Chain A
Amino acid sequence: MPAHLILLVIQRLALGVLLLLASSVLIFAGTQILPGDVAQAVLGQAATPEAIANLREEMGLNEPAVSRYLKWLFGAVQGDFGNALTNGADIGASISKRLGNTLFLALWAAVISVPLAILLGLIAVRFRNRWPDRLISAMSLATISVPEFVIGYIFMFFVAVKLRWVPSVSMINDSMSLMQKLQSIALPVIVLTFVVLAHMMRMTRAAILNVMESPYIETAELKGLSRFAVITRHALPNSIAPIVNVVMLNLAYLVVGVVVVEVIFVYPGMGQYLVDHVAKRDIPVVQAAGLIFASVYILLNMAADIIGIVANPRLRHPK
């Protein structure tokens, strides 16, 4: 890899770190510097002044915001997010178990949706403007127009309740075997797949079409190459980068989709954890979970950019 390419990648990595820092500031600021008193917000209107004062003390609200932020950030980097306000539990410990569950769910959704989306995207391009393409477009329009929880409940209603194929609630614990776990998460995985499939498919289709309409594809066709050779030798090498980019962006999207799906199926993951504690106004938990979701999102976006840099022939073979 040439030196300037490494430099570009390092630059992008540095930008990623910078964005992570900035997003931590935003999340911190979002919970601290908003109008109103946080302690008041947590305890509600009926709270006594003493209770509020106690809570302010406990949360360190009397210190200046900058020092609170730095303390929080240094703790977070070491995995120490403090304790939950509601039950005093160690947030780091709760998160590590739930994060594992969420990643398990997201991983299986990715394993199914990525190849499926690319395959459908290819089919749409191959039969462009004919019925398979139209059908795929119509399906993706429909799924894009429907919120995640609607897809979730439709599946739950028909597959779990009417047909009784799988349980409607996705419990998961360490004593379960892999097969039991997979059976338990089948429904959320399907729903998540649906949620990201449409976007990924549309973007894959657009990326491949963009390559297929390039003049060098015409050049290849006019050389008398077979359809197969045109695709494998000329279209594919130039499509890989955009497709990988599409996949990465959608995995980032999947991370958000997981929040709602976990709530629907009462799945013990990060999303459920976050939503529960937003309702309870448990700010340290919300900050911690928010930071982790944002980090995963930023890291995936960064990975997409780096792949784009590395795959660009102009950057790989400079003048």
Chain B
Amino acid sequence: MTMRIPVSALIGLTMMAFFFCLAVFAPLIAPYGIGEVVGDVWEPMSAKHWLGTDNIGRDLLTRMIYGARTTIFIASAATVLSFTLGTLLALSAVVLGGWVDMALSRFIDLIMTIPTLIFALVVLSVVPTSILILIVLMGLLDTTRVYRLARAVAVDINVMDYVEAARLRGEGTSWIVLREILPNALSPLVAELGLRFIFMVLFISTLSFLGLGVLPPDTDWGAIVKENKEGLVYGIPAALAPAVAIATLAISVNLVADWVLNRTTSLKGGRNA
């Protein structure tokens, strides 16, 4: 297996690394403080303010860097939550089978009959909005999708003769899940991980844009769009900067996920045909 990374994936990886560095080292990189008013309202781009200033005169680049931190943190945390929970539930459902599988799957189906955004809005109308609540809410709602995929993958593997062979050998549940099923389920799941992360980025941005996500003094990319959207009517493109950032991050992750998916299908092998 040679490790040749295609150009598109390389671009994706580089961009991802760039954004994650921004997120991690935001306080070190950002030229100003997050809430610091440093100029006039909506100043154009300049050497002093690379991206100009925002609707109340804060440095837009600084806001963007801190926004990256919040967006990426929330999206990552929610992805980790949905992924761990979804995969764990799915694998247990498949291995335990019977009524556990039945009940879990029907319940997940039921949750999925309501569009995610609508469900989130309904819940956000009663709970106080905080970053922790957002992470839990998004993570739980998205668990349904991870569960479905992981279950489908695990069911496919579970009927393979090698799993049956392990059962006939007398292997315990942990060997079957960890050694027989998981290594074969991992690759499609890793590719899905990327897609779920993108979904989380879009989701939190949308919520913040609607004013129901991250609240001041914190900020994220969606909130920056919201703060600066009035400027667009006057021809001030400040709101487009976070928009472009969201799109770039999402596309980068997509490129990497595509590559992972391709790579794993070639690894699968098994059949000579």
Contacts and interface: CB of A to CB of B under 8 A. Distances in A.
Chain A–chain B contact at Cβ < 8 A: yes
B119 A150 contact: no
A150 B225 contact: yes
A153 B229 contact: yes
A19 interface: yes
B232 A19 contact: no
Interface stretch (A1-9, A120-128, A204-212, A283-291): A283-291
Contacts of A172: none
Contacts, number: 143
B232 A156 contact: yes
Contacts of A119: none
Contacts of B225: 149-150, 153
A290 B117 CA distance: 10
**Dominant secondary structure of chain A at its interface with chain B:** helix
B2 interface: no
Contacts of B178: none
B240 A290 contact: no
Interface stretch (B89-97, B150-158, B205-213): B205-213
A256 B115 contact: yes
Interface stretch (A104-112, A139-147, A228-236): A139-147
A259 B110 contact: no
A30 B123 contact: yes
Given A153-B232, A275-B121, A282-B125, A142 B251 contact: yes
Interface stretch (A34-42, A60-68, A217-225): A34-42
Interface string A2-44: 0000000000000000010011001100110011101001000
Nearest to B119: A30
Contact of B126 (A36, A150, A301): A36
Interface in B240-258: 240, 243-244, 246-247, 250-251, 254
Contacts of A277: 125
B259 to A, nearest CB: 13
A45 to B, nearest CB: 9
A74 B210 CA distance: 31
A297 B116 CA distance: 11
Contact of B247 (A19, A150, A279, A294): A150
Interface string A251-270: 01001100110011000000
A53 interface: no
Nearest to B195: A144
A240 interface: no
A255 B254 contact: no
B198 A147 contact: no
Contacts of B126: 30-31, 34, 36, 38, 41, 281, 283
B114 interface: yes
Given A22-B113, A149-B206, A286 B125 contact: yes
A251 B202 CA distance: 20
A146 to B, nearest CB: 4
B213 to A, nearest CB: 11
Given A26-B110, A34-B126, A286-B125, A259 B118 contact: yes
Contacts of B121: 259, 274-275, 278, 286, 290
A145 B198 contact: yes
A306 to B, nearest CB: 16
A275 B210 CA distance: 7
A23 B251 contact: no
A298 B113 contact: yes
A154 B243 contact: yes
A35 B113 CA distance: 23
B251 A147 contact: no
A184 interface: no
Interface of B: 110-111, 113-119, 121-128, 198, 202, 205-206, 209-212, 222, 225, 229, 232-235, 237, 239-240, 243-244, 246-247, 250-251, 254
Given A149-B222, A153-B239, 14 more contacts: A22-B113, A27-B119, A30-B122, A31-B126, A41-B126, A147-B205, A147-B243, A153-B229, A256-B118, A263-B210, A278-B121, A278-B210, A283-B125, A297-B114
18 contacts: A23-B110, A26-B114, A30-B122, A36-B128, A41-B127, A146-B246, A148-B206, A153-B240, A154-B243, A157-B235, A161-B232, A256-B118, A278-B121, A278-B210, A287-B122, A293-B118, A294-B113, A294-B114
